[in-house]
């Protein structure tokens, strides 16, 4: 009777389980765990002169301040990374304006869940692309989805 119960319980589950809609190969699973900690990228490679100078300032800020005052930024990328990415993609003036706008949004602790999707790191995803004021780069990120 118990066997029949398990049979009835699991057959519908078997019917619904459809991971085989793509052919798959053998996969070796690593025993090691993934580190969930934020890794800073301190490298200056691929930067022009202005970019290198900006990156040096940001690296100094990270080492002397940001790495010591705790995990305060609720966003991914962090505000300093946001500034760096903005400077790379645009010009210094626009980057500073984008940064101050990001700083203001950082100060608002309310309704983040309704406005930003969650990143895999547990932070709210707020990329530079949305604030370039270029029509092609603005795309809507639904807050109900998780970003990888």
Q: How far apart are CA 91 and CA 139, in angstroms?
A: 21
Asked if 133 interacts with another protein (CB under 8 A), we say yes
- 74: nearest Cα among 34, 139, 119: 119
- Applying CB under 8 A, among 53, 56, 120, 138 the residue interacting with another protein is 138
Q: Is residue 108 a contact partner of residue 116, using CB atoms and an 8 Å limit?
A: no
- Applying CB under 8 A, among 13, 43, 45, 146 the residue interacting with another protein is 13
Q: Is residue 99 a contact partner of residue 77, using CB atoms and an 8 Å limit?
A: no
- Applying CB under 8 A, among 74, 85, 88, 97 the residue interacting with another protein is 97
- Applying CB under 8 A, among 41, 45, 50, 70 the residue interacting with another protein is 70
Q: How far is the CB of 144 from another protein (least distance, A)?
A: 10
β-bridge mates for residue 125, sequence order: 76
SS in 3 state form for 126-144? CCHHHHCCCCCCCCCCCCC
**Strand 75-76 to 146-147 pairing:** unpaired
Site string for another protein, 18-57 (x = CB under 8 A): xxxxxxxxxxxxxxxx-x-x--------------------
Asked if 136 interacts with another protein (CB under 8 A), we say no
Q: How far is the CB of 55 from another protein (least distance, A)?
A: 20
**Which secondary-structure segment (H or E) carries 75?**
strand 75-76
Q: Contact positions toward another protein, by CB under 8 A?
A: 3, 6-7, 10, 13-33, 35, 37, 64, 67-72, 94, 96-101, 103-105, 107-108, 110-111, 115, 130-131, 133, 135, 138-140, 142
């Amino acid at each position: 009777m118990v066997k029949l119960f398990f049979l009835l319980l699991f057959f519908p589950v078997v019917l619904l389980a459809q991971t085989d809609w793509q052919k798959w190969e053998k996969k070796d699973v690593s025993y090691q765990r993934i580190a969930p900690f934020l890794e800073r990228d301190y490298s200056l490679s691929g930067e022009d002169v202005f970019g290198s100078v900006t990156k040096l300032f940001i690296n100094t800020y990270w080492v002397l301040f940001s790495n010591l005052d705790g995990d305060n930024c609720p966003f991914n990328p962090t505000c300093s990374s946001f500034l760096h990415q903005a400077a790379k993609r645009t010009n210094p003036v626009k980057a500073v304006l984008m940064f101050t706008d990001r700083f203001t949004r950082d100060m608002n602790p309310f309704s983040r869940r309704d406005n930003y999707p969650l990143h895999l790191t547990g932070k709210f995803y707020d990329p530079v692309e949305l604030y370039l004021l270029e029509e092609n780069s603005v795309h809507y990120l639904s807050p109900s989805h998780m970003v990888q």
